[in-house]
Amino acid sequence: MMSKILVTGASGQLGQAVIRHLLETYDVAASDIVAASRDTAKLSALAAKGVETRKADFDDAASLAAAFAGIDTALLISTDALAIPGQRLTQHKAAVEAAVKAGVKHLAYTSMPNPDKSLVTFAPDHLGTEQAIKASGVPYTIIRNAWYYDNYLHGMPHNLQSGQWFTAMADGKVSNISRDDCARAAAAALAKGKAENKTYTVTGPQSESADEIAAVVSHAADKPLAVIKVSPADLQKGIEGAGLPGFVAAMLASADANIAAGNFDLVTSDYETLTGEKPQTSEAFFEANKAKLLSA
Q: What is the largest CA-CA distance in the chain?
A: 56
φ/ψ of 104, rounded to 5, equals: -60, 135
pLDDT for the residue numbered 61:
87
Q: Which residues pair with 173 in a beta bridge?
A: 209
pLDDT tops 80 at residue 82:
no
How far is the C-alpha of 268 from the C-alpha of 175, rounded, in Å?
9
pLDDT for the residue numbered 279:
98
- Exposure string (b/e) for 7-19, b if CB count within 10 Å is 16 or more? bbbbbbebbbbbb
Q: Could you tell me the fold of the domain covering 5-146+179-204+266-279? A: Rossmann fold (3.40.50)
Average pLDDT over residues 200-228: 97
Average pLDDT over residues 16-41: 96
φ/ψ of 118, rounded to 5, equals: -70, 145
What percent of the chain is modeled with pLDDT above 70? 99
pLDDT tops 70 at residue 84:
yes
The candidate with the shortest Cα–Cα distance to 76, out of 143, 123, 169, is 143
Rounded to 10°, the helix 210-221/152-162 angle is 70
What percent of the chain is modeled with pLDDT above 90? 87
Three-class SS state of 149: helix
The candidate with the shortest Cα–Cα distance to 121, out of 81, 93, 179, is 81
